[in-house]
Structure 1
Amino acid sequence: MTGHALRDTCIAHEDKGYRLLKERPVRLFIALIHRRPLVVLIASMALTAWSVYLSMGIGIKSKMKDLLPETAPSVVALQEVNKRLGSADNLIVALVSDQFKALIPHLGGIADTLQAHPDIRKVEWRQDVELIDRNALIIFPTLDELKDHYQSLRERIRDEVKKRTRLLDEDEADAEGDGPTFKRFTYSWAEHEQDDGLSNLGRTFRTGRGKYREYFYNMLHTAVGLKVHPVRSSGDLKFSRHILEVTHDLLNQELERRFGGVGKGQVVSQVVLAGGYRNTVERANQVKSDMLGSIGIAFGILSLIIMVFFRSVRALFCVLIPVASGIVWTGGFVALTIGYVNLITAFIFAILLGLGIDFGIHFFARYKEEHALGRTPVDAMVITHQNCGSASILAAVTTSSAFAALSIADFRGFSQFGGVAAAGVLLSLLAVIVVFTALVFAIERVSPMSRPVVEQTARQARHQNRRPFPLSGRFVLFALGVGVFCLSSAGQVGFELDMNKLMQKDTVKPEYQRVTYGTVKSSAPAVLIAANSKEARSLHEQLTAMGKTPEGKQFLKEHQSLFALIPTKQKDKITWVGKICRKLKRKVKLFEGDSREGADEILKRCEPTEFAVEDLPDWVKAKFTDKTGKVGEFIFVTPRGSINNGETALAFRDLMLSLETQAGTAPAVTGKPIVWADIITAMYVDGKKTTIAAFVTVFLLLLLFERSLVALGLIVLPLVLGIAYTLGLMVLLGIKINFFNMLVLPTIIGIGVDDGVHIYHRYRELGPNSARYVVRSTGMAAVLTSLTTSVGFGSLLTANLFGLNSLGLLSIIAIFAALFTTLFVMPAAMQWLDNRHSPAPSDTA
């Protein structure tokens, strides 16, 4: 809740004695600032400058895992993986060239130069695939598949021989003329995949063998890559920037020494850096750009609103400078506490502009009115603080309490947003109380505010309109009925599980990603952690069996473990490979074209030999070896389909957790799909928890301050109906809840109740049959401050993330839904109560 009423609301507090702030301490505070306004301004400027300095050190964490608590199972498992295996992040170096024969011999030397740097742990440039290539036919197919392939090969060759015999018996003239000619048997798994054993063998070999390449060429075969493994994770933005700069400089120096430089006509025409470290920097730059853009847009629109409303340059300075100070102080608070912003909290500053400016508008309007009544600057400021200050403190406490309710969430997207927003609202009010006061006094000394002739004060005007509000009980019942209908349809509000629909608007891959595409595997597998190699083998066997089930075929793409490359029953497999190769060698002339090349590829691998773990290439063993030297205790599992799809992530996580360890429990598992599944689960739980907590908090605060069930009912009525109408509009417009806009419900509870509080207090001050006038006076102030609040949230519509756009759009809908119920339903309910207790007065002007 923010300061949604201007002068009229403050009058209510003045007349009824509803003051949180007593006159004596307020006057002492104002007098102190009045004596030394420049000192106060210099002190506040120093605090602001220090906050700016602190804010410059705020980090940006744009990874999804940063939204989960450290105790989340996937995060705990990820920490274990990083501890034992090191960071899985890598920096891809793509050397664009059309002279690979000249470049390849130098890759080892270039890799050695990079690896010599202390911030680079390892550089991969080549994979020894001789053993895998030689034994491919016993590694990738199972024994049963080899037997099926052999039988299929025999049957197909027999059929083709019979066919050829029949064709040879045909009339020789027909054979030589235009009649049907002999067609050799083919099995082209490259172009025409057939559903037979031999074609399946080709596909199995091609798919499995294709995972292991000697060099890291990109998909277009225009660049060859090196995989650089820095010593620290890409989660460290400062280090990511550093390692990109270091790698770029080392490469330029080395390529200059070896080839005379980089450019057109050189062996290397372009150097492109990509991978996790480049992505981290690019995402951070995008978030920063969107954050500053949203703040700038909000600041510009709010400045225009102030100029139009007050028609005064003085108002522009007196309102915006204190609010801007409060926002900067909030940045310093973030730097001292959390130290970073995430995908959601990065945009809280633009939102706080819209929330905090209400306090400034409130204070300036009341001061201007009191000054116009002929009071001295000190007296005018004392009355402003006593009355508007009391209302603003109540508003700020309620709003910040609702935001603070979000901090109970485990999901950091909620908890950090709530904590920062709660602190930001209070700091914005503090800045208005101190900086606004000093700024007004300082300007008064240089350029005193003019005193326009006041024909009638608000105190006189408020009694002149006593006509009843045109809506009453029937409208309230109708509004309640619509609200109940909207709540009953709330179950139709969908939940957006596809992260692809929430991320960046620009779906075109950046140039650096297009160049490096294909150099390394782009999928983000999950990682299963076993207690020992025996357990890892058991998990591997369970995954193999699971892959043959309907669920496994739907959600499991592949799994890699050390045991996947160490086939069982090697002797039996070697025997059957020999049978296939002997049969194929004798009849290879039946094949032609593309199929002949495929047959020749199989025949090159007809002499597999038995091997064990110690025979595997070093780069393979290193992938499954932890820092202590333990081998084979990790399994990498890739889901089928998009890992950003929530349904896929949830189903995949359930499959992983259905596996059993030796202890009979689910294994520890982590990775991007598991993190996304944990985020979805956390949102489900925390969304309900924080919404209930925010509502209960606001309810108790209102009960504490109002101490009247009638007052409580009138104030809460527009809030509840506003939420109901928002849910109904979501169904009507097809807006789904996602992990960005889920913040709207608990947030709008704090903001939406504000209008009701000020409308009610104005009504209480004026008495029965004043609802119509309250709407025309305080209601218009509510329209203005709802507009400024919506500007803060609306600035998110300019962000480059669809999820943040949805947060901004849904917030605007919710704010104006609450405003509508406050301006129409709430006064109608007041009029209804007035009609029941006393007759409406006759219409008078």
Structure 2
Amino acid sequence: MSKFIRFFIPVVQLSNRRPYTVIAVALLLSIAAGFFASKLTVDTDIANLLPPSNENVQALEKLKETAGGETEMQVAIKSPDFDANVDMAEFLAEKSLDLYYPRYEDNFFSRAELRRETEVLQDNALYLATVQELIQIKDYLQDEIETAREEANPFFVDFSDDFEDEEEGEETDIGKFRESYDDLIPPEYATNSDSTVVMLTLYPTGPQSDIRYLEDMFEVYQDMLDEVDTASYHPEMEIKFGGRLKRHLDEFESIMNDVFNSFSLGISSVILLVMLYFFIKKYIHYRKGSKIGRKHSFWSHFIRMPVPVLVIGIPLLFSLMWTFGITYLQIEVLNTMTSVLFVILFGLGIDYGIHYYARYIEYRSMGRSVENSVLLAYDKTGAAIIVSALTTAAALFVLMFADFRGFSEFGFIAGMGILFALVAMLFVLPALLVIFEKWNWILTNRVGDDYVRSKGIHRYPYARSIVSVGLILSLIVLIFSGNLRFEYQFGNLEPTFEEYEQFREFTSGVDENGRRNPAYIIADTNDDVFEVLDSLRTRSDQNPETLIRDVEALQERFPPNDEMANEKLEHIAEVRQLLQNSFIRDQQDENLDLLRRGSQTREPLDEDIIPDFLKNRFMTQEGEIGRFVIIYPESGLSDGLKSIAFKDEVGEVELASGKTYHSASTSIVAATMLDLMRTESPYMVSATFLIVFLFIWFSFKNLRWALIALIPLIIGLLWLFGIMLLFGLKFNFYNLVVLPAVLGIGCDNGVHLAHRYRDEGQKSMWDVLSSTGQHITIGSFTTMMGFAGLLFTNHPGLQSIGIMAVVGIGMTLLSALTFLPAMVQFLEDKDWIH
């Protein structure tokens, strides 16, 4: 490592000789990188956290390309007068379609959906039934006829009441058809049970990824509503708009606000801490210096408090610009996890500057020249800084090998940020020191002859007790580590938006049904559609714990060829014949009335008579009936374990020919992401630890010292797990990304302390703590403050990152300041280290 350090000494000497040139080059590179960095945006779509090569992601993209990815905007009108609500909805539909967007040179909305023409579907309801449902309907009618015949017998005795409880809850032959009927043929208007709310659906012309478009659309729409006289329709009328499209915008804005707030809070606290620390440290050194050298007043030192922030902060800002400029060129967008890396890297990268600048001040206080102090600071701290930075960067780069892009992109950006911060602190910071010294902005004084170092006087107290207690606590955590849990509830990791929840409550009961979060398979041929249907239904029938509620395809309801259409018409004709049976012909019954009206079809239906609201739901963007197989889950998929189970059950379907289809839905993608991350995490953490260990071993060229340097990391992680067990904290797919980061970051403290102790020699641990111990404490605090900004965000997932990082880094610092010195003292007493 010493050869590696000396190799770059000419670059440091260049910073001494030509500081303005170095700063000018760094500034130009930062301006160019900053131009690209300013183009970065945040993508909140979780589907993009998986690699594009993932089969389920490709299936979802194909679904969007085939069926379209429109996300509608919903407008809810509420009052006790249903007719007034409809009149207002019709008025708003007309006004909405006239709203013009100059930026697109088009209207905001392409179409509106209000009244649903259902007469045609009601008259031809049985044509929408599947063949299986038609067979069940015929069985139902046969049973009704037989029952009516028996009841007409004067000697008939009905014993069915005795078994009523046993049959309760069983689905009748017509039950499945009635469920499909209610789903395919909804009420004329989208309304709730008491008809006090009417829903108007608007389809935007712009994509949901265009945030500026969404902001303008909602602003213009609110302005339009403000001008509407609702009281003229009904004095109690209320209008709300939004839905998932508004939630998407709120989520984006929330994340951006969180990023800005965490950035402001984190950086301001880091700056304040650095200013105070170096002001106190420098002033104490100054006062300890010779009386002749004390030429400057307290006020002169006070007004120079921002100087350390400038000396360390300017190179750090340069490195951040370089990092995010490269990020734009390589990735183009940030995701939810990487959106907060700016403030995190600020806290991480400043550590190297703190160590360098602090050692520089110490050498200047010893009377060394500016140039000599710069070179000595580089020589003495360079090894520890470079090892720390390379181990941290390597640990983060390991994440790049993960398929989960939450890991891989985090690793790439953070790893590059660490390397750029290292370069900036080792080669740009010295140039700033030379310039600021020329401008007399850094005030130092040579330490007086009466100042005696305490080396050899102190030993670390209570070493044996601290080691014993630390090992016992670590052993207890290991014993109970099996109780650590993973958070599988997606809802607990998403922010709650009050406006969206109010809208959901406002529209409660409108068009609600149990068929939610369906998955789709797009088949190549109609034959494949039916084979996929059969395969999935067989799985469902054979799995007692199936999560498949129902499977359907439009080809079953709208026959794709004349042969299948004629088969369906024959079944319908048989139903009509059964309905004419004398025993039930005049019987008044809701189900029979529905069947009488719906069995009028005598020839194949033309697609042109199918209402738009139904056609648009099932058609491709080209206006053709899509070969979609729709799979409805039995229950909600907010539980990650259920989501994974549903994905495992329906995610892949292989046909007899060997052709394989993959299911598409955001729930499937989320489950795949969770499953992938859960699978990759142990490998990522293990590989990270191995890389850290190898780097440290290479640095010390001694296995014993490598293990000593790793003590704060190992013990700190165990104590982190102990805190998690104590307070019931859980791992999740957000904070798991922090574990490899903590591995890389947490090793820094042990490396710096071990390197300094070896430089100073035996019986120097107390002196090492009084100098390097301060530096690692401030460095860890700045890193923790960088993450701590996430604690005040509205996003539970981002909050969990902050909690995990702050506690993890805090525990590695605590073990570095207590357990490591105690262990070194213990080994020193035993004469086991030299």
Q: TM-score, normalised by structure 1?
A: 0.80
Residues 649-668 of structure 1: CA distance to partner in whole angstroms, max 9, x if unpaired?
11111221464424245422
1:209 corresponds to which letter in structure 2?
D
Q: 1:824 Cα deviation (Å)? A: 3.1
C-alpha change, 1:551 and 1:611, in structure 2 (3 Å) is: farther
Name the residue aligned to 1:190.
Answer: none
Equivalents in 2 of 1:478, 1:716: separation in Å? 18
Please, which of 422, 434, 444 is the counterpart of residue 429 of structure 1? 422
Name the residue aligned to 1:290.
Answer: 258
C-alpha change, 1:839 and 1:822, in structure 2 (3 Å) is: closer
Please, which of 712, 731, 754 is the counterpart of residue 718 of structure 1? 712
Equivalents in 2 of 1:436, 1:270: separation in Å? 61
C-alpha change, 1:631 and 1:138, in structure 2 (3 Å) is: closer
Please, which of 761, 765, 779 is the counterpart of residue 767 of structure 1? 761
SS in structure 2 at match of 1:837:
coil
Equivalents in 1 of 2:758, 2:52: separation in Å? 49
Number of residue pairs matched? 776
Name the residue aligned to 1:812.
Answer: 806
Please, which of 432, 455, 462 is the counterpart of residue 463 of structure 1? 455
C-alpha change, 1:247 and 1:780, in structure 2 (3 Å) is: closer
Q: 1:443 Cα deviation (Å)? A: 4.0
Name the residue aligned to 1:740.
Answer: 734
2:642 is equivalent to residue 648 of structure 1: yes
C-alpha change, 1:606 and 1:638, in structure 2 (3 Å) is: closer
Q: 1:392 Cα deviation (Å)? A: 2.1
Q: 1:319 Cα deviation (Å)? A: 3.2
2:665 is equivalent to residue 671 of structure 1: yes
Equivalents in 2 of 1:719, 1:17: separation in Å? 27
275-284 vs 400-409, which moves further = 275-284
Equivalents in 2 of 1:763, 1:154: separation in Å? 96
Name the residue aligned to 1:336.
Answer: 329
2:41 corresponds to which letter in structure 1?
G
Equivalents in 1 of 2:833, 2:631: separation in Å? 75
C-alpha change, 1:319 and 1:24, in structure 2 (3 Å) is: closer
Q: 1:506 Cα deviation (Å)? A: 4.4
Residues 239-264 of structure 1: CA distance to partner in whole angstroms, max 9, x if unpaired?
353266369769989x99xxxx6343
2:371 is equivalent to residue 367 of structure 1: no
Alignment of 1:431-446 (within 5 A): 431-433=424-426, 435-446=428-439
Q: 1:345 Cα deviation (Å)? A: 0.2
C-alpha change, 1:422 and 1:159, in structure 2 (3 Å) is: same
Contact 2:15 2:22 in 1 (8 A): no
SS in structure 2 at match of 1:461:
coil
Contact 2:15 2:430 in 1 (8 A): no
2:216 is equivalent to residue 245 of structure 1: yes
Alignment of 1:396-407 (within 5 A): 396-407=389-400
Name the residue aligned to 2:549.
Answer: 556
Contact 1:146 1:573 in 2 (8 A): no
Q: 1:298 Cα deviation (Å)? A: 0.5
Q: 1:467 Cα deviation (Å)? A: 2.9
Contact 1:152 1:196 in 2 (8 A): no
Contact 2:746 2:809 in 1 (8 A): yes
CA RMSD between the two structures: 4.2
Equivalents in 2 of 1:68, 1:377: separation in Å? 51
Please, which of 60, 73, 90 is the counterpart of residue 42 of structure 2? 60
| Runs (5+) with no aligned partner, structure 1 | 1-12, 167-184, 186-192, 589-595, 841-845
Equivalents in 1 of 2:715, 2:341: separation in Å? 26
Name the residue aligned to 2:284.
Answer: none
C-alpha change, 1:291 and 1:651, in structure 2 (3 Å) is: same
Equivalents in 2 of 1:657, 1:335: separation in Å? 33
Equivalents in 1 of 2:241, 2:490: separation in Å? 26
SS in structure 1 at match of 2:230:
coil
SS in structure 2 at match of 1:718:
helix
2:791 is equivalent to residue 788 of structure 1: no
2:39 is equivalent to residue 73 of structure 1: no
Alignment of 1:134-149 (within 5 A): 134-136=123-125, 139=128, 142-143=133-134, 145-146=136-137, 149=140
Q: 1:285 Cα deviation (Å)? A: 1.2
Equivalents in 2 of 1:648, 1:536: separation in Å? 26
Please, which of 355, 363, 376 is the counterpart of residue 383 of structure 1? 376
Contact 2:214 2:249 in 1 (8 A): no
Equivalents in 2 of 1:429, 1:197: separation in Å? 69
SS in structure 2 at match of 1:449:
coil
Q: 1:733 Cα deviation (Å)? A: 3.0
Q: 1:496 Cα deviation (Å)? A: 1.8
Q: 1:500 Cα deviation (Å)? A: 0.9
Name the residue aligned to 1:173.
Answer: none
Q: 1:44 Cα deviation (Å)? A: 4.6
Q: 1:148 Cα deviation (Å)? A: 5.7
Please, which of 98, 110, 131 is the counterpart of residue 120 of structure 2? 131
Residues 266-296 of structure 1: CA distance to partner in whole angstroms, max 9, x if unpaired?
6698886545654433222111111111111
Alignment of 1:56-205 (within 5 A): 56-85=38-67, 87-94=68-75, 96=77, 99-100=84-85, 102=87, 117=106, 124=113, 127-136=116-125, 139=128, 142-143=133-134, 145-146=136-137, 149-150=140-141, 195=169, 201=174, 205=178
Alignment of 1:401-550 (within 5 A): 401-433=394-426, 435-452=428-445, 454-455=447-448, 460-467=452-459, 469-472=461-464, 476=467, 479-480=470-471, 482-506=473-497, 509-510=500-501, 518=510, 523-544=516-537, 546=539
Name the residue aligned to 1:704.
Answer: 698
Q: 1:30 Cα deviation (Å)? A: 1.4
Contact 2:337 2:734 in 1 (8 A): yes
Equivalents in 1 of 2:747, 2:175: separation in Å? 68
Name the residue aligned to 1:609.
Answer: 601
Name the residue aligned to 2:298.
Answer: none
Equivalents in 2 of 1:603, 1:614: separation in Å? 21
C-alpha change, 1:407 and 1:136, in structure 2 (3 Å) is: same
SS in structure 2 at match of 1:323:
helix
2:7 is equivalent to residue 28 of structure 1: no
| Runs (5+) with no aligned partner, structure 2 | 162-166, 280-304, 560-564
Equivalents in 1 of 2:619, 2:830: separation in Å? 81
SS in structure 2 at match of 1:327:
helix
C-alpha change, 1:577 and 1:618, in structure 2 (3 Å) is: same
Percent identity between matched residues is: 23
Name the residue aligned to 2:199.
Answer: 224
Name the residue aligned to 2:290.
Answer: none
SS in structure 1 at match of 2:630:
strand
Name the residue aligned to 2:164.
Answer: none
2:628 is equivalent to residue 634 of structure 1: yes
C-alpha change, 1:828 and 1:792, in structure 2 (3 Å) is: same
SS in structure 2 at match of 1:285:
helix
616-625 vs 789-798, which moves further = 616-625
Q: 1:532 Cα deviation (Å)? A: 0.5
C-alpha change, 1:838 and 1:107, in structure 2 (3 Å) is: closer
Name the residue aligned to 1:264.
Answer: 230
SS in structure 2 at match of 1:341:
strand
Equivalents in 1 of 2:799, 2:153: separation in Å? 68
Q: 1:48 Cα deviation (Å)? A: 4.2
Equivalents in 2 of 1:388, 1:448: separation in Å? 23
C-alpha change, 1:18 and 1:475, in structure 2 (3 Å) is: farther
Residues 484-504 of structure 1: CA distance to partner in whole angstroms, max 9, x if unpaired?
553454333222222111111
Please, which of 263, 274, 288 is the counterpart of residue 306 of structure 1? 274
